[in-house]
Structure formats: C-alpha cells, structure tokens
Structure 1
Amino acid sequence: MTSIIVNLPEQSYEIAIAPGGIDQLGEMMSNLKLGKKVLLVSNPTIFKHYGQRVLASLEAAGFEVVSCNLSPGERYKTLSSVQKIYDTALENRIERSSTMVALGGGVIGDMTGFAAATWLRGINFVQVPTSLLAMVDAAIGGKTGVNHPQGKNLIGAFHQPRLVLIDPEVLKSLPVREFRAGMAEVIKYGVIWDAELFAQMEESKRLDQLRYIKAELIEAILNRSCQAKADVVGKDEKEAGLRAILNYGHTIAHAVESLTGYRVVNHGEAVAIGMVAAGQIAVKLGMWKKEEAERQDALIQKASLPTKLPDGVDIEAIIESLQLDKKVKAGKVRFILPTQIGVVTITDEVPSDTIREVLQAMQ
C-alpha cells in the first residue's frame, strides 16, 4: 500500500493506494474513530460491481450502513439528486458523528461531498473513487458541489474527506471512454507540475486503454498524480492562489460541457479540448514554444482524446459563457497557461480576440 498525506492546518488526511483496498475500507475507517452510522452513496452500475464488497467490509467492522443510489452521469449532478441523499439521511437518522461514503466517480464524489458538507452543517465524508479521473483528481482536495443549468460546479463548498481509498484493481472494470477521460487529468499534471511524469507517458506507445499500459506506468500515474494534487492542495487549500493551476484546461472545458448540456463530451474529453486551446493561446501570446504545445497535443491524441470542438458549438457562446466561470475576478477571466512542460502561470490578460482565433482553428 502507498500512503500519501494531504497536509492541512485543520484536518490532514490520508490517500491510501491499495490493491484490493475496497475490502479493507471498514478496517481503515475504524481506525479514524468515526460514528457507527454510515450512508453509502453510489450509482446502480458501480454498486452492482462493488457495493456488496463495501457493505461487507463496513458491516464486518461494526458499522451500520444504509445506501442511496443515484442516476449516473454529469447531467444528474444537480440539487435534486442531492435532495435524495438528504432524504435518505433524514429517514435513517444520520447524525453529526455519522459518515457519508462516496463509492463512484467524480460525479458521485462531488455530490456526496456536498451533501456531507451541508447535512447538519457538516459531517464526516470518505471517498472511494472508482474512475481514474476521480482517483487522480476529483476525490482529492475537498472541492464538492453540483452544477447549475448555466454553469458547472457553481454551487458547492470546500469539505475535506477523512480518507481517500484508491483500489487500482477497480480500473479493470472501468469503461474505455472513462479511462481515457481520466488520462486527460493525468496529462494535465504532467503539464502543470511534473515534467518527469509527462516524459514517462511519452515513452508509452499507447495511453488509450489500461491493457496497453505497463503496470509500472499505471503505478506512477496514480502515485505521482495523487502526490501532485496533495502537494498543491497542501499549499493552498481554498484556491487563494497556487491551487488555481489545477484548473488548467478547465476554463474552456466547463463552457463546452455546459453549452452541450453535459451530454456530448464527458469531463475528461472537455478538459482535453480545453488544454489544447490553452496551449495554443499560450503559443500565440509568446509564452510557450510551439514544439512543447505539439508534445502536449501528441499525448492527448495518444490517449484517443479529442483536440477539436464538438460540432455545432457556437464560439461566441463559449466566450460569453466564460464570464460565468467561478474563476472570474473583477470581470476578467483567469487562464492557466503553460510556459514550459511542468510549469504554468496564471493570467487574466488574455484578449477575447486571441481566444476567438484559437477556437476558430479548433472547429
């Protein structure tokens, strides 16, 4: 087992990367001295694969468990879905000492975390991510929330988990498209923080399916991505400065997701599109070498991720949607732009004409 600590002033916690770890969840939670009541939140597909194992592990450790299954997919990441968690919590007398456990991908994790942050003004929360994207990104750092029809994650709260348990064996059952979505976030870490991880991925012939990637690289992907996220969050928990770099590619990604109703591209695919756009913006502003942008785009293509905008997305609508992004400050849109592989900078000095020009080239 690999243990990575997210060091925070108020409540540090462990990211445990453990093959077969799902069966150890109850024991690990017992060590945290949590209350006995647990509300397990998942979706029917994930629950069918892993729900009974999680229940068995928790009950063997003496926890009293109830479950709530939500509809899968980004379009269900809404307040009405969170209401179902609240209803289950109320019916089963979930208390302040109780714990909500998220078993699923980023959508389940974000909604469960938001419910835990707001139920009785905040209760314990444990993440058991089942997608690559959630393992390396969404499950770590305490960002929780739901979407508003006009923008992604506009409703939310910071609420750190007590534990993040990652079982790499779960990736074997992950659909190929979801695995690729997670690779977008891994490539992001290479660009913003870890040039060595980026170089390791360049050496791999394929990045589009788990079965084509060597076990050592999968181990490096999980360990180094989680460490990168832990390092950044440990330095800036509430996104006062440095943590904003984790949004590389996300500014345009969120606009694309919102404008397509969360039905055309998934989050990772949108991030890939956003990274290509951010890279080209950086090149046009003279901040990044064209050759390095091409290296980034080659990795994105190696993971079979999109590099063009979805058909029918209106560029002016994207530019208008950027004003609704959470990172807008004093009316200016903040972009995270690369200056070299492994290094990015934050700027709000990107002309709309430059954005427009880049997006037109990506149609």
Structure 2
Amino acid sequence: MQLIPVHTDTPYDVHVGTFLLERVGQTVRETCPGATRTTIVTDTNVGPLYAEVVRTSLTQAGLEPHTFTFEAGEKRKRAATLVDCLEFLAESELSRGDAVVALGGGVVGDLAGFAAASYLRGIAYVQVPTSLLAMVDSSVGGKTAIDLEAGKNLAGAFWQPRAVLADVGCLATLESAQFADGCGEVIKHGVIADPELFAVLEGTPLTLDLLMANVPAVETIVARNVAIKRDVVDADEHEHGMRKLLNFGHSIGHAIELCEHFQRGHGECVAAGMVAITRAVEAEGGCEPGLAERIDAVCRAHGLSTACTWDADELFEAALHDKKRAGDAIDLVIPHAVGDCVIERTPLPRFHELIRAGVSAGKDR
C-alpha cells in the first residue's frame, strides 16, 4: 500500500493499494473517532459488488451501517437525488459526529461529498473510489457537486474527506470502456505536470490487460496521479490560481458532455477537449510542433476517441455555462509542451475562435 498525505486545511491521507475495502471500518474509526453510525452512499452498479464487504468492515469496527443506493449514471447527479440522500441521512439519525462513506465512482463521490458537506452544516466523510477516474481525480481535493440543467458541477462545496481508500483491485470489475474513460484524466496529469508519466503512457498504455498482468505497476501509476493532484491541491485548495491547471481540456470537454447529454464518458470528453485546444494553439505556433498529434495518439492508444461532431457555435454556447467563466472571459489552460501548461484569462470571442480552430483542425484530419 502507498500512502499519499494531503496537506489541506483539513489534512488527510490517500491510501492506494489492494484489499482496502476491508479496512474501511478501521479507517472510519481512526479518522472519525466520534462516529457511532455511518451511511454508505453508493449506486446500483457498485452497491451489489462491494457494499456488503464495506458494511461488514464497518460493523466489525463497532459502527452501525446504513446504505443509501441510487440509480447509477451522471443523470442522477442532480438536486432530487441529493435531497433523497439528505432525507435518508436524517432518517438514519446520523449526528454531527457520524460519517458518510462514498462508495463508487465520480458521481457517487461528488454527490455523497456534497451531502456530507450539507447535512447538519457538515459531517465527516470517507471516499472509497471504485473507478479509475475517481481514484486519480475526483476523490482527491475536496470538490463536491451536483449538476444543474445549465451545466455540470454548478452547485457544490469544497469539503475535504477524512481519508481516501483507493483499492485498485476494484478496477478489475470495470468494463473496458469505463477503465479507458479514467485514462483521460491520467493523460491530462501527464501533460500538465509530468513528462515522465506521459512517456510511460506512450510506451505502455494503462489498460485492464496491464492490471491483470501487473497490479503493482497500475498501483504505482494511480499513486503518481494522486501525488500530482495532491501537489496542486496543496498549493491552491480553493482554486484561486494554480489548481485551474487541472482543468486542461475541461472547458471544451464539459461543453461536449453537455451537448452529448452526458451519454459520453467524462474522460473521453476531456481527451477530445485536450486535443481540440492543443490543435488550435499549435495552428498558431503557440506550442511545440506535433504536440496535438502526440496527445491524440496517446488518447487513442488508451481507447479514447477524440472525435467531435459538434460545431464551434454549439460548443461555445454550451461552454458559456462553464463555472470557469468570469464575466466576458474564461480561464483556459494553454499547453506549450508536455509538462509546460499555463492558465490564461481568455476573452470569450477569443475562446470562440479557439474552439472553431480546434474543431476544424480535427475535422480536416
């Protein structure tokens, strides 16, 4: 097991390894010493696989477990599900000393974290991510949210977990497309912060086959991604500056998600967004030659399509609802080279031009 400490206002550790589901109860007991009751928040995909293991672990630690399960999918990350979860916490009589356990992928982690942040004005929670996307990205850093009709993650709170338990053994139950979707954020971390990680991904793509053949290698990659995000979050917990680097590819990616009505995976949309913005920058000579093709090739090697069928006007209209927008401008992450990206406050007309250039360059291929 690898341990990555996070030094936010509420410090905690991220545990990356195997057989960690069986340690959830012990971890809750250690990090939430006043807890007597817990509620596992999970979905209809993950609950049947892992909820009983976690319930047993909590019971053995002397904690009374309850389980709230909602229908899986991004479309359920909405206010109605949040309210149902809050009502369940109240019916389960959780007190301020008790804790929520978020068991699942990014949707579960975001919603459970927001429920924990809201219930009784904030109670403790522990993240137990079961997808690659959640392990390397959404479970770390304390961002919690739900989607609104206008866009993704527009209502939420910064609320740090007491611990994160990333059991890479859970990845073996993912479908190939789900596993690949998580690789979008892994590739993003390589581009913004780690040329060595990016080179590793170029040479040996992160796949389910690699997991089956070499669990320690996958564990190392997951831990490296957590460390990258930890370093950024430590420096800028509430996203006033440096943390915006983590949004590389997201402004266009979130627009694609919205246009696709969330039927396309988040990681794949981010991959398409990364390639589109890089193509636009490269066309103007703003980054090293061939960078867009290099990112595109790595994404494709990981099973991620970077194609975009939407036109620039549709994407721009969707992107206007992005939470990174500030009045008549938006904060964009501009790549110059692998490991060299900057945040630029970009006027909206200029952003529209970049979307058009990026999408057009992709369609010309």
Question: What TM-score do the two structures reach when normalised by structure 2?
Answer: 0.95
The answer to whether 1:304 aligns with 2:317 is no
The answer to whether 1:218 aligns with 2:215 is no
Distance 1:362 1:292 in 2: 14
- Deviation of residue 354 (structure 1)? 2.9
Select between 213-222 and 141-150 the one with higher mean Cα deviation: 213-222
SS at match of 1:283: helix
| Maintained 8 Å contact 2:279/2:357 | no
Distance 1:337 1:174 in 2: 32
Distance 1:362 1:291 in 2: 14
Query: What per-residue deviation string (whole Å, max 9, x for no partner) do you get for residues 226-277 of structure 1?
Result: 00011100000000000000011111111111122112x1111111111111
Amino acid at match of 2:242: L
Q: 2:247: which partner in 1?
A: 247
Q: 1:352: which partner in 2?
A: 352
Q: How many residues are aligned here?
A: 358
- Deviation of residue 207 (structure 1)? 3.6
The answer to whether 1:139 aligns with 2:136 is no
Distance 2:207 2:221 in 1: 14
The answer to whether 1:320 aligns with 2:313 is no
Identity %: 37
| Maintained 8 Å contact 1:172/1:210 | no
SS at match of 2:306: coil
SS at match of 1:296: helix
- Deviation of residue 137 (structure 1)? 0.2
Query: What per-residue deviation string (whole Å, max 9, x for no partner) do you get for residues 285-329 of structure 1?
Result: 3221122222211100100101111x4x34312112222111111
Amino acid at match of 1:272: A
- Deviation of residue 216 (structure 1)? 4.6
| Maintained 8 Å contact 1:179/1:210 | no
- Deviation of residue 47 (structure 1)? 1.1
Amino acid at match of 2:47: F
Distance 2:285 2:216 in 1: 36
Query: Against the structure 1 CA distance between its residues 34 and 173, is the aligned structure 2 distance closer, same or farther, given a 3 Å change threshold?
Result: farther
Distance 1:25 1:184 in 2: 28
Distance 2:51 2:351 in 1: 49
Gaps of 5+ in 1: none
- Deviation of residue 44 (structure 1)? 2.0
Q: 1:268: which partner in 2?
A: 267
The answer to whether 1:295 aligns with 2:294 is yes
**Once superposed, which parts of structure 1, at least 4 consecutive aligned residues long, lie more than 6 Å away?**
none
Q: 1:329: which partner in 2?
A: 326
The answer to whether 1:35 aligns with 2:35 is yes
Q: 2:105: which partner in 1?
A: 105
Distance 2:271 2:12 in 1: 30
Distance 1:99 1:354 in 2: 45
Amino acid at match of 1:50: Y
Q: 2:281: which partner in 1?
A: 282
Distance 2:147 2:294 in 1: 33
SS at match of 2:285: coil
| Maintained 8 Å contact 2:277/2:354 | no
Distance 1:44 1:294 in 2: 38
Q: 2:53: which partner in 1?
A: 53
Distance 1:60 1:342 in 2: 45
Gaps of 5+ in 2: none
Query: Against the structure 1 CA distance between its residues 47 and 351, is the aligned structure 2 distance closer, same or farther, given a 3 Å change threshold?
Result: closer
| Maintained 8 Å contact 2:315/2:355 | no
Of 337, 340, 350, 2:337 maps to 340
Distance 1:351 1:31 in 2: 48
| Maintained 8 Å contact 1:323/1:331 | no
Distance 2:278 2:301 in 1: 17
| Maintained 8 Å contact 1:336/1:346 | yes
Amino acid at match of 1:119: Y
Matches within 5 A, 1:79-118: 79-118=79-118
- Deviation of residue 351 (structure 1)? 4.5
The answer to whether 1:2 aligns with 2:25 is no
